[in-house]
């Protein structure tokens, strides 16, 4: 096999234990032949088409799967081929502060053969978390071959999704008090709410297909999930389902909070409009009276002092009476 030009990490496992590490990718097939009971992990970071074609020729990967691994922003899915499986999924991270919210998605494509797990990281990710997950349970690895590696990959990805959903849900606790303030939330709080809703929409696209992906892995033709690990796969599937439910709950919650804020702002606007209309009416009455008596025809006593006083009292009394009426109605 031609050595890939992209950054590569490699490991060889036998009975759940690492027997070789960081060897050249071109030696993977030879090591598997020398160790009939071993399985290999080969990780490529942002490989080009030529890099993947070299790996595909060595492991018999389908051209359509190679094409999907090269292209970015594939949906989470599982494609089954004659002697291998292609899986696409996302690990996610939430970066949030008092006024900022950002979701970072790490797309991972994986080729699963009977004796090798080949992962493709399309964006920078922490492979050390994956390695730590495998090293945590070597006894579990002894019960399975490549299915143990796949379980670790799924577990790390789904855990990151659940942790992100929890983090966003907790971030909404702080935003909730501001979004439910009397008189409407400040603009910064509304923008933060919109940012959280955008993060949840992106997260939902990553987590919604995961229960089905894990379920299909259990039905794969290459018998990926054995009896020893089936319970662990079910646990990951349950975690994925909880993540979907939590994400949907959080999306409903943030939408209701933003709607409540919008309703409160509308109520405030209605109150302001009503007050402006009330004051306009109060001003309009004296204006109408003075216009009637001063422009259209002489008012009674217009040429006497008592006539001026009477008209002034009428104007003031009308305005005060209208003010009292509108105040009683709650418009002021």
Model pLDDT for residues 270-320, shown as the tens digit of each residue: 777 877 777 777 777 767 666 655 545 565 665 667 667 777 787 788 778
- Digit-coded pLDDT (tens) for 221-232: 555 666 778 888
Q: Considering the domain boundaries, does residue 148 fall inside one?
A: yes
| Domain end call among 265, 299, 317 | 265
Q: Considering the domain boundaries, does residue 1 fall inside one?
A: no
220 and 304 housed in the same domain: no
Q: What is the 3-class SS of the chain, one letter each residue?
A: CCCCCCCEEEEEEECCEEEEECCCHHHHHHHHHHCCCEEEEEEEECCCHHHHHHHHHHHCCCHHHHHHHHCCCCCCEEEECCCCEEEEEEEEEEEECCCCEEEEEEEEEEEECCCEEEEEECCCCCHHHHHHHHHHCHHHHHCCCHHHHHHHHHHHHHHHHHHHHHHHHHHHHHHHHHHCCCCCCCHHHHHHHHHHHHHHHHHHHHHCCHHHHHHHHHCCCCCCCCCCCHHHHHHHHHHHHHHHHHHHHHHHHHHHHHHHHHHHHHHHHHHHHHHHHHHHHHHHHHHHHHHHHHHHCCCCCCCCHHHHHHHHHHHHHHHHHHHHHHHHCCCC
pTM comes to 0.77
Q: Considering the domain boundaries, does residue 2 fall inside one?
A: no
185 and 60 housed in the same domain: yes
115 and 211 housed in the same domain: yes
Instruction: Give mean pLDDT, residues 129-146.
Output: 84
pLDDT of residue 295: 46
- Digit-coded pLDDT (tens) for 83-133: 889 999 999 999 877 778 899 999 999 999 988 999 998 888 778 888 888
| Residues of the domain holding 84 | 8-265
214 and 315 housed in the same domain: no
289 and 260 housed in the same domain: no
Q: Considering the domain boundaries, does residue 103 fall inside one?
A: yes
Q: Return the CATH number at 200.
A: 3.30.460.20
77 and 210 housed in the same domain: yes
Domain count, the chain: 2
185 and 172 housed in the same domain: yes
């Amino acid at each position: 096999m031609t050595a890939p030009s992209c950054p590569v990490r490699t490991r060889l496992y036998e009975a759940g234990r690492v027997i070789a590490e960081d060897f050249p990718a071109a030696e993977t097939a030879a090591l598997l032949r020398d160790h009939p009971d071993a399985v290999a992990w080969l990780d490529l970071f942002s490989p080009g088409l030529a890099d993947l074609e070299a790996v595909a020729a060595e492991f018999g990967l389908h051209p359509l799967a190679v094409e999907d691994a090269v292209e970015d922003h594939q949906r989470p899915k599982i494609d089954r081929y004659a002697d291998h499986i292609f899986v696409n999924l996302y690990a996610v991270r939430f970066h949030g502060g008092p006024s900022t919210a950002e979701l970072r998605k790490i797309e991972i494509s994986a080729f699963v053969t009977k004796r090798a797990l080949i992962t493709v990281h399309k964006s920078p990710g922490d492979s050390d978390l994956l390695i730590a997950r495998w090293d945590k349970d070597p006894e579990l690895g002894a019960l399975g071959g490549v299915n143990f590696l796949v379980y670790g990959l799924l577990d790390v990805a789904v855990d990151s999704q659940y942790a992100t959903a929890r983090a966003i849900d907790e971030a909404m606790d702080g935003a909730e008090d501001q979004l439910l303030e009397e008189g409407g939330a400040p603009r910064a709080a509304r923008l933060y709410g919109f940012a959280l809703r955008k993060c949840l929409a992106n997260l939902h696209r990553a987590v919604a297909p995961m229960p089905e992906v894990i379920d299909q892995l259990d039905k794969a033709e290459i018998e990926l999930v054995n009896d020893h690990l089936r319970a662990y796969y079910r646990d990951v599937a349950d975690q994925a389902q909880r993540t979907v439910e939590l994400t949907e709950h959080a999306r409903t919650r943030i939408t209701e909070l933003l709607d409540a804020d919008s309703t409160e702002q509308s109520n405030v606007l209605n109150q302001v409009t009503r007050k402006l209309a009330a004051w306009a009416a109060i001003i309009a009455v004296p204006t109408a009276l003075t216009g009637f008596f001063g422009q259209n025809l002489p008012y009674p006593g217009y040429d006497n002092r008592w006539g001026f006083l009477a008209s002034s009292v009428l104007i003031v009394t009308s305005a005060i009476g209208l003010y009292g009426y509108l105040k009683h109605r709650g418009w002021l």
